[in-house]
Amino acid sequence: MAVIADRCPGIQVTVVDLNAERIAAWNDPDLSQLPVYEPELDAVVGRARGQNLHFTTAVEEAIAAADMVFISVNTPTKTRGLGAGQASDLRWVEASARTVAQAARGHTIVVEKSTLPVRTAEVIQTILSAATGDGNGCSFSVLSNPEFLAEGTAIPDLEAPDRVLIGGDDPAAIAALAAIYGQWVPAERILTTNLWSSELSKLTANAFLAQRISSINSIAAVCEATGADVREVAKAIGADSRIGAKFLQAGPGFGGSCFQKDILNLVYLYRHYGLEEVAAYWEQVVTLNTWQQQRIARLVVTRLFGTVSGKRIGVLGFAFKADTNDTRESPAIRICRDLLEEGAILQILDPKVEEGQITAGLVQPAGGGEGSWLPVADVHQAASGADALLLLTEWQAFAQIDWPAVAAVMRQPAWLFDTRAKADGAAARAAGLNVWTVGEGSG
């Protein structure tokens, strides 16, 4: 929304939320205090806020004044009830649709921006059409406009998208939304489809991206076993233009709020339609991802003589990828939990993740492991007294570690486990550490 406001000075954009604290944070005069860390976002908000970008808790008022409403609420995987563990929880989408139905005036275009299961637009349409029958003169068009930005590169992704996708069946509404994007996106990159194709394309794009990561992680394990190097394999296959070089980095498994959730959504949909083989095929992408995370935790324990109980391990990075403070579904969570279960003492460092987020991720169920963890402020503290450093997020700073200084404060024999192939492994080896790098065979 900030980018739309920045690119379309003639449009008034009002972001509403019931959470007053959140809205206050978005209105904080100090732009470094915005609730989301995303490179360049502060500059975009700084330019538009107070001009044509507003943050408020006056939800009904803003809806009544709007020609177009974007529903951008979260849709986590259901934890209980029908479809638990796979289907998306649509309670906030439904609540938003009801609020729009009740507060809107005149004709309103309602845009699904949240990632939703296929045919959710139908739910929204049904709720809205109940309001249309109220005789208060309001009417609605529903569009699907999924978002393809990735965290960490959100602003450049929005400013120069590969494509914008608009699904719907009302040509006037589609044209109105296309005209907004058309202010900065070339016309040939604005694709229009029917509603269901648009919803399905979003889930499919994420499923294909996640599948590439599970594929390369599966090859990483083979490389480690055979003496091949996954980066050499990725380069060789990525040179084929039909495969392409992007999204072939082996790592600790994908995290983030979307990939697992979206695949499980598809799996639920396929099962609903009786497509068991298709469901099993895609489910395997998630299974392999979980396996990769468990395998890394096991590997750390094995290399440290089969036990990490009472041993200090420095954890470098907790966010699910670099350049974000987002920890949702971060591989660090499962890997750290497994190590805590084994009794390790984790010294966790992340340049952008706050202690509260780490606590929320690592809360152990009753009767959980015996380990403990503490946040640390720099690599030196993470390494202090540790038997190993475990690099989990590819922050650029971790490429420039002073290895002789770090090795000097570790307990010997010491290890570096680099799940992102980010650190200077040769320098760490030269400083006397044992080094394990994801996908690197020992030859």
Could you say which residues in the range 287-326 bind ligand UGA, by CB under 6 A? 320-321
Which residue, 54 or 202, is less far from ligand UGA as judged by CB?
202
Residue 400: both structure tokens together: 């420039």
At residue 201, what is the residue type? S
Q: Establish whether 223 is a catalytic residue.
A: no
The single residue among 37, 70, 140, 254 that binds ligand UGA, judged by CB under 6 A, is: 254
Which residue, 148 or 184, is less far from ligand UGA as judged by CB?
148
Binding track over 99-118 against ligand UGA, x by CB under 6 A: ----------------x---
Which residue, 49 or 328, is less far from ligand UGA as judged by CB?
328
The single residue among 6, 42, 112, 151 that binds ligand UGA, judged by CB under 6 A, is: 151
Render 333-367 in DSSP notation, one character per residue: HHHHHHHHHTT-EEEEE-SS--HHHHHHHHPPPTT
What are the residue ranges of helices labelled H in 110-258?
120-132, 154-159, 171-181, 195-226, 230-238
The single residue among 86, 198, 249, 292 that binds ligand UGA, judged by CB under 6 A, is: 249
Round to whole Å and give the CA distance between 6 and 144: 22
Using CB positions, name the residue nearest to ligand UGA: 256
Q: How far apart are CB 94 and ligand UGA at their closest, in Å?
A: 21
The single residue among 92, 148, 184, 291 that binds ligand UGA, judged by CB under 6 A, is: 148
Q: What angle do CA 149, 153, 156 make, to 5 degrees?
A: 80
Report whether 180 contacts 4 (CB < 8 A): yes
Q: Which of 8, 138, 223, 258 is catalytic?
A: 258
Q: How far apart are CB 67 and ligand UGA at their closest, in Å?
A: 26
Could you say which residues in the range 203-232 bind ligand UGA, by CB under 6 A? 206, 209, 213
Round to whole Å and give the CA distance between 84 and 62: 34
Q: What are phi and psi of 31, to 5 degrees?
A: -65, -15
Given the rule CB under 6 A, which of 59-67, 91-99, 245-253, 409-417 is the region that contacts ligand UGA? 245-253
Round to whole Å and give the CA distance between 255 and 253: 7
Given the rule CB under 6 A, which of 50-58, 86-94, 223-231, 251-259 is the region that contacts ligand UGA? 251-259
Report whether 154 contacts 178 (CB < 8 A): no
Kind plus residue range of the DSSP H or E element containing 314: strand 312-316
Q: How far apart are CB 404 and ligand UGA at their closest, in Å?
A: 29
Q: How far apart are CB 215 and ligand UGA at their closest, in Å?
A: 10
**Site membership for ligand UGA, residue 149 (CB under 6 A):** yes
Give 443: exposed, middle or buried? Use CB within 10 Å, 0-12, 13-18, 19+: exposed
Q: How far apart are CB 114 and ligand UGA at their closest, in Å?
A: 10
Round to whole Å and give the CA distance between 362 and 120: 33
Please state whether the peptide bond connecting residue 413 to the residue before it is cis, i.e. omega within 30 degrees of 0. yes
Residues that bind ligand UGA (CB under 6 A): 115, 147-151, 206, 209, 213, 247-249, 251, 254-256, 258-259, 320-321
Report the catalytic residues. Answer: 258
